[in-house]
């Protein structure tokens, strides 16, 4: 098992290296750079900028260096924990990302838990009572969740919140708690706001998760080992949990890896709609303003989050399925 | 107390399919004598396995037991009808694994891949007796040794995928016998195994039957196995019983044309070089499709034939 | 042959007929296919189907709510020709918002196959024939209007043309990439396989939307509408192909060992012949299913990007662009009908999902979650 973990962690590194190259290329794609956009702004304001000043600026941001150097400079700093400087906020990126990333992580993880809390019982019910009215009802309701873009769901929740309950939905804190230090009241205020993005983000993955579990479980329900266990007298509920469900949950665990990118994507857009202080809105601002260090850091951190999530799901799978462990 | 452990009366099982209702069993009747080995033979689709599953009430939708009785007489207990038991009846749990147990055809898939064999064998005990886990594991280990698994202290913690097919079947047999059931059903227990292993497993089952003295229902399509194992033979075809008789009667002097066909289809050294008979060529124009009731002949065997054919046979 | 005309001989049913038999039993899939054909037809002929163009403004109806089609007038008289009532606008003294009520004095009958605005169908045929109009007097807004007085009904169907075609074009592109990379990896194996595998792994572990955002933000502002359209389509396909490639690769690996492929190879068939004649057909059906289930992702992707303002941009009309008008709750509370394009997104995505399910169950009757509704 220990060797397996080591092998998997080691296997992550080339993946992350490739990801960093892709991200670097992507953030370099837009024509122009921060200096040209600064110049455009200054010239629009009527400020004259000399060629020397331009050169200085370019040198300051390493923009006069070859691409490979810029990449190595960026990733080298990233590895030692220096994510560069945000032009947009005129602050080091390090100061900007962690809190937002924390909220993103919190929303994503709680959405994941929400997804499971709904999808697992629903999937089990749907499989055990296949073709029943409940099965159809659940499948259809879940499909609605799958088909509704998460931003639309966020808009609908806002509409319902305002129209039916007269409350304005948005943000992670009430105004009075926004800029005060953490306290018990602030935590409860936070939790009161957290559940909305949790539900909205979580619903998008519920349908697919439920369907995967339903399909897996249906596959397993009539396997010979279930009949064997039933023939030796295992009681129905224990039989279901210990035999088919135990196996059906295995491929399901491996879907965490696929679910995470979906949830992080959903979180980004829902946060933009609901105005949450997470990575999504900041990322889009950074992208539009070509604040490449900030945008690159956000993208890289989100990717790392996903890769770690996938690693965890693989380890969980190895722990739960002896066949993988002994490979 | 009767001398039959199980009496099957007019058992009918139906499966609902897209093309209508299929009758997997068309009201079959026979008895299983206590302490004896009864073999059920027939080709695929004759209803052998369905009979076995029906006895343990393992028929799942879309299949259902349409009618009939399964009168089970436990040693020293009152007989009861298995079919009449409600799904919640504690006697049903007893039927499954304690009084009756089953060895399946596919040892490769009959065990859950994620639990150790010890866990799965011990569970069979824990389902029926209130003893500690340690005690159950100890008994499981004893049984596993009895079915021929060596190095038990290591092997008991291993997972099914670490066992060969023959070894797994031994585990399945241990699991079936660990509660010392009164009736053991073996559903083609050797079909999926290598020929060399088949003989070992067969010998193992027969030896254990001698030791434990339980009744066995042995389902197979291999008449060679029947000759080695059975006391009584039941020939099934398309969800019906065609002929019931002692192993000597069926194998040496089959009366039903279909049984003759089955026997003729076995390759034999004596007939080397000759073209193998098919069932159809032996049966010829004889009607084996129409269901006729079983008639008991003077020598005790039962046979399902048209009155004319029956007449002919009796006159012979 | 059987004597009775009621019985059918199993031998005479081709695999294709069997698939169709099974597909027909999946009622939701049947409903979905009807819905999809209809909406694609309407999107294809949107100039004809809708009464107005995308930029036509009705100054009498700014942010006006949807109209009700009526057959019975105020006096209880039944009219066979459907009609709508015109709006009465007044400004709410408290909120300073326009509010509309029906004015029963303005009754606009709906004429079918009537003359209206001029347009060129597909840029070719010059005509002014519409499916329905209110003639030259009056106006009709089934889905209401936006803040510029543009007819939402018309814009939804013009938007359908863009959003729905992006789904198809994107999937074709995805299919091409997926089959190419998956096939190459699966057939060649070795280092190529490992390289493609690694790329797939990397692409699948990236959160799609942030990267889509980054890529669409990189599309030059100066690009023409058509350029942005294809740019967005390519961006959507870039992250869609790994799923398919992985599947194709797996099938290739399995098929390579199949007896019929080995025997074809032993008979001396060329590599290309083996791939195209023997291997591809044996998984076309699965590919079609996967493609069907991939279309919703494309549509949702476009909608999300355009909604965020980094996808398609006005004057191009797509469902996402239309949704962009409903960015905050004030707008939604005041003019909830601006969410109607979202309803079309949901219905279309669901229809594709049901269709994909139905296809999969029909093609592969042994798949676990077959439905026999």
B90-147 pLDDT, tens digit per residue, is: 888 888 888 899 988 888 888 888 889 999 999 888 888 888 989 999 999 988 998 8
CB A275 within 8 A of CB A171: yes
Q: Which residues of B touch A326 (CB under 8 A)?
A: 159, 161-162
CA-closest candidate to residue A33, choices A59, A13, A9, A11:
A59
The rounded distance, in Å, linking the Cα atoms of A123 and A129 is: 10
CB A153 within 8 A of CB A206: no
Average pLDDT of the segment spanning B299-304: 82
Average pLDDT of the segment spanning C257-278: 74
Residue B115: closest CA among chain A residues belongs to which residue? Answer: A322
Burial per residue of C341-370, b for 16 or more beta-carbon CB atoms within 10 angstroms, e otherwise: bbebbbebbbbbbbbbbbbbbbbeeeebbb
A325 close to B (CB below 8 A) = no
| C111, C140, C169 - which closes a domain | C140
C100 inside domain:
yes
C38 inside domain:
no
Query: At C282, is the pLDDT very low, low, confident or very high (cuts 50, 70, 90)?
Result: low
Q: Report residue A170 as tokens.
A: 């948005």
Q: Which residues of C touch A146 (CB under 8 A)?
A: 349-350, 353
**Min Cα separation B109/chain A (Å):** 6
For chain A positions 292-321, those within 8 Å of chain B (CB to CB) are 320-321
Q: Which residue out of C28, C167, C203, C206 would a mutagenesis test of the A interface target, given it has the greatest number of A Cβ atoms within 10 Å? A: C206
The rounded distance, in Å, linking the Cα atoms of C51 and C134 is: 8
User: Do C167 and C134 share a domain, yes or no?
Assistant: no
CB C174 within 8 A of CB C237: yes
What percentage of chain B has pLDDT greater than the value 90?
4
User: Do C113 and C219 share a domain, yes or no?
Assistant: no
Residues contacting residue B128 through CB under 8 Å, at least 6 positions apart: A233, B93, B94, B97, B98, B179
Tell which CATH architecture fits domain A107-276.
Orthogonal Bundle (1.10)
Flag if A144 and C346 touch (Cβ within 8 Å).
Answer: yes
C2 inside domain:
no
Judge if the upstream peptide bond of residue A4 is cis by omega within 30 degrees of 0: no
- pLDDT value of position A212: 82
- pLDDT value of position C371: 34
Domain count, chain C: 2
CATH code assigned at C221? 1.10.3720.10
Task: Specify the DSSP element, H or E, that contains B243.
Answer: strand B240-246
CB C185 within 8 A of CB C177: no
User: Do C293 and C180 share a domain, yes or no?
Assistant: yes
User: Do C178 and C238 share a domain, yes or no?
Assistant: yes
Residue A279: closest CA among chain C residues belongs to which residue? Answer: C210
The answer, yes or no, to whether residue C301 has pLDDT greater than 50, is: yes
C371 inside domain:
no
User: Do C186 and C313 share a domain, yes or no?
Assistant: yes
User: Do C217 and C306 share a domain, yes or no?
Assistant: yes
Flag if B58 and A323 touch (Cβ within 8 Å).
Answer: no
Flag if A232 and B124 touch (Cβ within 8 Å).
Answer: yes
**Min Cα separation A202/chain B (Å):** 30
Q: Which residues of A touch B162 (CB under 8 A)?
A: 326
Task: Say what angle helices C281-308 and A256-274 make with each other, to 10 degrees.
Answer: 20
CB C329 within 8 A of CB C252: no
Report how far Cα B98 is from the mean position of its chain's Cα atoms.
17
C23 inside domain:
no
Q: Which residue out of A130, A226, A231 would a mutagenesis test of the B interface target, given it has the greatest number of B Cβ atoms within 10 Å? A: A231
- pLDDT value of position C8: 47
Binding partners of B (≥3 Cβ pairs within 8 A): A
User: Do C118 and C182 share a domain, yes or no?
Assistant: no
CB C338 within 8 A of CB C152: yes
Mean pLDDT taken over chain C = 78
Q: Are strands B215-220 and B37-41 parallel, antiparallel or unpaired?
A: parallel
User: Do C172 and C296 share a domain, yes or no?
Assistant: yes
Q: Which residues of A touch C329 (CB under 8 A)?
A: 155, 158-159, 161-162, 168-170
Q: Which residues of A touch C220 (CB under 8 A)?
A: 30-31
- pLDDT value of position C1: 38
Burial per residue of B92-115, b for 16 or more beta-carbon CB atoms within 10 angstroms, e otherwise: ebbbbbbbbbbbbbbbbbbbbbbb
**Min Cα separation C308/chain A (Å):** 8
User: Do C188 and C319 share a domain, yes or no?
Assistant: yes
ipTM of the complex: 0.81
* In chain A, where the domains are located: 107-276
Task: Please tell me what DSSP assigns to residue B277.
Answer: P
Mean pLDDT taken over chain B = 84
- pLDDT value of position B76: 80
- pLDDT value of position C364: 64
Higher pLDDT, C30 or C367: C30
Beta strand spans in chain C (E): 70-72, 78-91, 98-109, 111-121, 125-133
| C112, C140, C168 - which closes a domain | C140
User: Do C205 and C264 share a domain, yes or no?
Assistant: yes
Q: Which residues of A touch C218 (CB under 8 A)?
A: 26, 29-30
User: Do C226 and C116 share a domain, yes or no?
Assistant: no
Residues contacting residue C203 through CB under 8 Å, at least 6 positions apart: C238, C239, C242
B172 close to A (CB below 8 A) = yes
- pLDDT value of position C312: 83
Using CA atoms of B188, B194, B199, B202 in order, give the dihedral in degrees to the nearest 10: -30
Nearest-CB residue to A303 (from C206, C336, C372): C206
- pLDDT value of position C13: 63
B10-68 pLDDT, tens digit per residue, is: 898 988 876 778 888 888 888 888 888 898 988 887 888 888 888 888 888 778 888 88
- pLDDT value of position B137: 92
Average pLDDT of the segment spanning C126-131: 79
**Min Cα separation B40/chain A (Å):** 20
Which residues constitute the domain of residue C294? 155-365
C130 inside domain:
yes
C43-94 pLDDT, tens digit per residue, is: 888 888 888 877 777 777 777 788 877 777 777 777 777 877 777 777 777 7
> What is this structure's pTM?
0.78
User: Do C334 and C244 share a domain, yes or no?
Assistant: yes
Provide the edge-to-edge strand list for the sheet that holds B215-220: B100-103, B183-187, B215-220, B37-41, B232-237, B240-246, B302-304, B294-296
Mean pLDDT comparison of B38-42, C3-7, C268-272, highest-scoring range: B38-42
A322 close to B (CB below 8 A) = yes
Flag if C198 and A15 touch (Cβ within 8 Å).
Answer: yes
Q: Are strands B80-81 and C78-91 parallel, antiparallel or unpaired?
A: unpaired
Nearest-CB residue to B110 (from A225, A250, A322): A225
A132 close to B (CB below 8 A) = no
The rounded distance, in Å, linking the Cα atoms of C143 and C161 is: 17
Q: Report residue B115 as tokens.
A: 């639990």
The list of chain A residues with pLDDT below 50 reads none
- pLDDT value of position C362: 76
CA-closest candidate to residue A11, choices A261, A310, A327:
A310
Flag if A227 and B162 touch (Cβ within 8 Å).
Answer: no
Flag if C202 and A19 touch (Cβ within 8 Å).
Answer: yes
Flag if A269 and C204 touch (Cβ within 8 Å).
Answer: no
CB A213 within 8 A of CB A252: yes
């Amino acid at each position: 098992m220990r060797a397996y973990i080591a092998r998997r962690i080691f296997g992550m590194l080339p993946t992350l290296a490739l990801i960093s190259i892709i991200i670097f290329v992507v953030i370099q794609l837009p024509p122009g750079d921060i200096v040209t956009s600064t110049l455009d702004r200054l010239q629009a304001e009527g400020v004259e900028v000399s060629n020397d000043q331009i050169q200085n600026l370019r040198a300051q941001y390493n923009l006069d260096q070859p691409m490979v150097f810029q990449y190595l400079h960026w990733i080298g700093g990233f590895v030692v924990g220096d994510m560069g400087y945000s032009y947009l906020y005129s602050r080091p990126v390090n100061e900007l990302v962690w809190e937002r990333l924390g909220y993103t992580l919190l929303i994503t993880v709680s959405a994941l838990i929400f997804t499971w809390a709904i999808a697992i019982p629903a999937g089990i019910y749907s499989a055990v009572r296949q073709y029943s009215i409940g099965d159809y009802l659940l499948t259809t309701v879940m499909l609605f969740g799958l088909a509704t873009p998460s931003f639309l769901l966020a808009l609908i929740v806002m509409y319902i919140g305002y129209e039916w309950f007269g409350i304005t939905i948005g943000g992670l804190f009430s105004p009075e708690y926004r800029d005060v230090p953490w306290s018990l009241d602030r935590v409860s205020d936070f939790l009161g706001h957290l559940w909305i993005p949790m539900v909205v983000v979580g619903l998008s993955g519920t349908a697919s998760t439920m369907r995967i579990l339903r399909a897996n479980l249906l596959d397993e329900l009539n396997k010979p080992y279930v009949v064997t266990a039933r023939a030796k007298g295992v009681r129905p509920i224990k039989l279901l949990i210990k035999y088919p469900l135990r196996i059906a949950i295995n491929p399901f665990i491996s879907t965490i890896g696929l679910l995470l990118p979906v949830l992080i994507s959903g979180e980004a857009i829902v946060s933009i709609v609901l105005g949450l202080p997470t990575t999504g809105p900041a990322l889009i601002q950074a992208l539009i303003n070509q604040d490449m260090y900030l945008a690159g850091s956000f993208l890289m951190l989100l990717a790392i989050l996903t890769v770690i999530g996938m690693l965890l799901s693989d380890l969980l799978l190895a722990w739960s399925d002896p066949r993988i462990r002994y490979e | 107390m009767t001398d039959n452990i199980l009496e099957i009366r007019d058992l009918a099982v139906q499966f609902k399919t897209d093309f209508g209702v299929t009758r997997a069993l068309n009201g079959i009747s026979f008895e299983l004598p206590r302490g004896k080995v009864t073999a059920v033979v027939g080709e695929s689709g004759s209803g052998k396995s369905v009979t076995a599953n029906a006895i343990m009430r393992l028929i799942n939708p879309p299949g259902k037991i349409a009618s009939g009785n399964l009168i089970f007489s436990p040693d020293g207990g009152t007989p009861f009808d298995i079919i009449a038991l409600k799904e919640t009846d504690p006697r049903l749990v007893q039927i499954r694994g304690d009084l009756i147990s089953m060895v399946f055809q596919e040892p490769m898939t009959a065990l859950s891949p994620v639990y150790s064999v010890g866990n799965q064998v011990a569970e069979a005990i824990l389902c029926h007796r209130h003893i500690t886990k340690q005690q159950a594991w100890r008994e499981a280990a004893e049984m596993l040794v009895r079915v021929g698994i060596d190095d038990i202290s290591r092997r008991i913690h291993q997972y099914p995928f670490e066992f060969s097919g023959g070894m797994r079947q031994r585990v399945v047999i241990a699991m079936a016998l660990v509660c010392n059931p009164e009736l053991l059903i073996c559903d083609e227990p050797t079909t999926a195994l290598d020929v060399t292993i088949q003989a070992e497993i067969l010998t193992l089952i027969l030896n254990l039957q001698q030791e434990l003295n339980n009744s066995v229902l042995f389902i197979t399509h291999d008449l060679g196995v029947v000759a080695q194992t059975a006391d009584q033979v039941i020939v099934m075809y398309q969800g019906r019983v065609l002929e019931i008789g002692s192993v000597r009667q069926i194998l040496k002097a089959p009366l039903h044309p279909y049984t003759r066909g089955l026997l003729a289809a076995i390759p034999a050294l004596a007939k080397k070089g000759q073209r193998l008979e098919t069932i159809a060529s032996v049966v010829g124009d004889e009607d084996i499709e129409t269901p006729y009731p079983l008639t008991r002949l003077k020598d005790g065997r039962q046979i399902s034939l048209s009155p004319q054919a029956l007449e002919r046979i009796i006159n012979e | 042959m059987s004597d009775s005309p009621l019985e059918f001989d199993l031998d005479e049913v081709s695999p294709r007929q069997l698939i169709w038999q099974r597909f027909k039993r999946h009622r939701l899939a049947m409903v979905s296919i009807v819905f999809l054909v209809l909406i694609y037809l309407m999107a294809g002929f949107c100039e004809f189907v809708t009464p107005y163009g995308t930029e036509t403004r009705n100054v009498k109806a700014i942010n006006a709510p949807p109209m009700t089609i009526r057959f019975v007038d105020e006096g209880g008289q039944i009219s066979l020709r459907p009609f709508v009532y015109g709006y009465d606008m007044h400004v709410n003294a408290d909120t300073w918002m326009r509010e509309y009520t029906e004015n029963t004095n303005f009754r606009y009958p709906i004429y079918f196959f009537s003359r209206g605005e001029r347009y060129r169908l597909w840029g070719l045929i010059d005509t002014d024939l519409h499916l329905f109009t209110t003639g030259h007097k009056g106006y009709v807004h089934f889905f209401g209007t936006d803040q510029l007085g543009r007819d939402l009904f018309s814009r939804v169907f013009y938007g359908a043309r863009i959003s729905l075609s992006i789904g198809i074009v994107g999937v074709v592109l995805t299919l091409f990439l997926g089959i190419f990379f998956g096939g190459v990896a699966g057939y060649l194996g070795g280092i190529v396989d490992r390289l493609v595998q690694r790329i797939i792994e990397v692409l699948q572990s990236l959160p799609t939307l942030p990267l889509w955002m980054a890529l669409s933000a990189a599309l030059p502002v100066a690009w023409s509408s058509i350029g942005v359209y294809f740019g967005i389509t390519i961006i959507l396909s870039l992250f869609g192909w790994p799923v398919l490639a992985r599947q194709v690769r797996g099938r290739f690996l399995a098929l390579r060992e199949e007896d019929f492929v080995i025997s074809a190879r032993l008979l001396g068939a060329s590599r290309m012949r083996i791939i195209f004649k023997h291997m591809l057909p044996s998984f076309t059906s699965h590919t079609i299913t996967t493609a069907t289930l991939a279309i919703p992702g494309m549509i949702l992707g476009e909608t999300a990007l355009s909604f965020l303002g980094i996808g398609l941009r006005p004057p191009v009309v797509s469902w996402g662009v239309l949704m962009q008008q409903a960015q905050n709750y004030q707008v939604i509370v005041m003019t909830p009908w601006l969410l109607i394009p979202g309803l079309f997104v949901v219905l279309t995505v669901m229809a594709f999902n049901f269709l994909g399910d139905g296809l999969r169950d029909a093609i592969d009757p042994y798949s676990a979650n077959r439905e026999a509704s």
